[in-house]
Each structure stands twice: as structure tokens, then as C-alpha cells.
Amino acid sequence: MSYVQAKAKKEVRMVTTPSIEISRRQFLAAGGLMAAAAWLTPTTLFADSGDVLVPGGLKAAATAKVTVQALRRNISVLLGAGGNIAVLTGPDGKILVDAEIVTARPHVSAALARISADPVKQLINTHWHFDHTGGNEWLHEAGASILAQENTRKHLSEVTRVEGWKHTFPAASAGAIPSTVFKEDYTLHTNGTTLFLKHYSPAHTDSDISVHFAEADVFHTGDTFWNRDYPFIDYSTGGSIEGAIRAAEANLAKVTDKMIVIPGHGAVGGKADLILFRDVLVEIRDKVAALKKQGKSLAEVVAAKPGARYDAEWGNLFMSPAAFIALVYQGV
Ligand SMILES: [Zn+2]
């Protein structure tokens, strides 16, 4: 790394610290315009320390507590460090929606045993990300067949780079690859329950599906809904802020007053939480788009704090406010 690049990178790190604001003049003086432009890509701002999010997630999940929350009828949810897992129990065996991070295996396994002794027969992946498919291999070995949208199988089957995480995933092992895939819709009848699976148009990724447990009116949104957390958006595999907003609208078109909604991340919620999520995405998208249209750089938009009234609550999970603004800026 050249001196100029190093200086520019140092300044980018400063920009990502919410409490430190630097002026455009100081910023340009420190790094030089060309170097600043080269470093100030959204992904640089997001993963300013390099490939840390995925290794950090793997490490955190190894010790994270996994709790069980009973929802309605024979449906529970496991809440832990990665994506939320829905569990349907009954004489046909357990049906799981999502599989957490691989290192959470002992905690997920113990939580499943606390719900019932039924074996796991079926695993549905809401999308291909490691914090939702990490348990695919061990759950398959335990007897589950895996079902997903066809793009989940595609991304798991090959080397896939996620720029937003500065991480390259190797192809998954054969046992972790979904054996059944579909394009738009899929319906399952099991344990006295009808499960409607539906593909979103590209949103958080190009592989996102929702799962609706019809009789209980429980709806798993995958990562198209994060409850009071800024969402990650994976531009490398088809995601975008506009797609994320479209999916948020699709969820609102589906929700009923009594529906229980399981987000990809965050606490179980309902209609009001889906409305709030859509409103926050739209408000921040509109503010960032207006500033970008005025010619503001990413650093300037981050410094303007378009999400100021949400940042303290919403910027605490995977996504700092600066990281989320960078993903929005990339897509407007
Ligand atoms: Zn995801």
C-alpha cells in the first residue's frame, strides 16, 4: 500500500466512526482527491477493516446463547447469533426454516432437543447466506432434506464473493446443497400445516423467499425484514436498496393484523414492525438520494447522518449507521 493510499484509508476509518466528523477540505487534504475517490467506495467504507464480519460472526456464534420462543400451534422460533430459525413440530418430524451459523451447532442442537424429540426431516433455506445455511451440512447428516430457491443452490454450489463483507465463500460441501429447488412458488403439506414458499424479486439477495405457515398465520420473511436493525444488502448476489424496499412493500401487502412475523434478524414482530421497517428504508433512501443528487460524496452523506433518529437503536447489530448509508448510497 502506498503512503497516499494508507493516508486515505486512515481517513476512511475516521469517517466510519460516528462520533468523529471531518470536513471535506480536511479529508481531501489528507488523502488527495484521486486516492480518496479510489478508497471511498461503499464497500471500503463498510468493511474498512477488511474481511472481519464473517470470521467475527463464526466466532460469536460459537458462544452465543440460543433461546426458544413458542409462537402459535406447533411452531417455535430459535433466536441466536445468526438468522432466526422457525421450527414446525409433529408426527412428520421437525421442519426448520433456516439453519444458523455452523459454529452454533451445539446450541441449535440443544435448543431443538428442548422443543421435542422429533427428528429433523426438512430444512428450508430463506436465502444462501452463511448465517442462514451454516447448519445445512450437519442437519442434512441428521436426516433433513434441504429445500430452497434455485439461486440459493447456485450460490452455494460455486465460489461466491460478497464485496460488502470483503469475503469469498468456497463452494459448499455436497451435503449442504439443497436437493430440491424451485423458481417462484412451492407448497408443502406436513404436520397438519400448509407452508407456502414464495420467491421475492431480487431484494436482500436474488435468492430470498418467504415461508407462510398458513393455519397458524406465522410468516418468516428471511432477511427482507430486520426488526429494528439496519439490514445488510448483498449487491454481489443481486440485492439492492430498491429491491429491499420492494420486498418490504410485498411483506406489507401480505401481513394481517394477527400475523406473527419472524424477521431474519431481531425479535419476532408483527404488522406495525413491518410498517416501521418500510418507513425507515424509504426515509433514508430518499434522504441519501437527495444528497447524492446534490453531488455530495459518500463521506459527506455519512456525516450528514440521514438516519440520525434511528441510529442509536438500529445501528447496533451487524450494520453500523455508516455501513448502512454506504449500501444505500451505492444503489441510489
Ligand atoms: Zn442475509
pLDDT at 176: 98
CA of 18 to the centre of ligand 1 (A): 24
CA of 89 to the centre of ligand 1 (A): 25
CA of 33 to the centre of ligand 1 (A): 34
Q: What is the C-alpha to C-alpha distance for residues 12 and 45, in angstroms, rounded to an integer?
A: 6
The answer to whether 114 and 68 are in contact (CB under 8 A) is yes
Residue 193 pairs in a beta bridge with 190
CA of 204 to the centre of ligand 1 (A): 7
Sheet with 85-88: list strands edge to edge.
67-72, 75-79, 85-88, 94-97, 120-124, 145-149, 180-182
CA of 266 to the centre of ligand 1 (A): 13
CA of 304 to the centre of ligand 1 (A): 27
CA of 26 to the centre of ligand 1 (A): 36
CA of 224 to the centre of ligand 1 (A): 8
Quote the cell numbers at residue 247: 420486498
CA of 131 to the centre of ligand 1 (A): 7
If you ran DSSP here, which 8-state letter would residue 165 be given?
A: G
pLDDT at 48: 53
CA distances from 265 to 139, 158, 282 (A): 21, 26, 19
pLDDT at 50: 83
Pairing of β 167-169 and β 209-213:
unpaired
If you ran DSSP here, which 8-state letter would residue 237 be given?
A: G
Quote the cell numbers at residue 67: 433461546
Nearest to residue 15, comparing CAs of 310, 312, 299? 299
pLDDT at 49: 62
CA of 182 to the centre of ligand 1 (A): 19
Q: What is the C-alpha to C-alpha distance for residues 28 and 211, in angstroms, rounded to an integer?
A: 48
pTM confidence score: 0.85
pLDDT at 80: 87
pLDDT at 62: 92
**CB atoms inside a 10 Å sphere around CB 39:** 21
Please report, as a single letter, which amino acid is at residue 5: Q
Residue with cell 417455535: 76
pLDDT at 168: 96
CA distances from 293 to 27, 39, 288, 289, 297 (A): 21, 21, 8, 6, 10
pLDDT lower than 70: segments of the chain: 1-49, 317
CA distances from 252 to 221, 225, 240, 278, 304 (A): 11, 11, 18, 8, 30
pLDDT at 154: 98
Please report, as a single letter, which amino acid is at residue 78: L
pLDDT at 217: 98
Quote the cell numbers at residue 183: 423458481
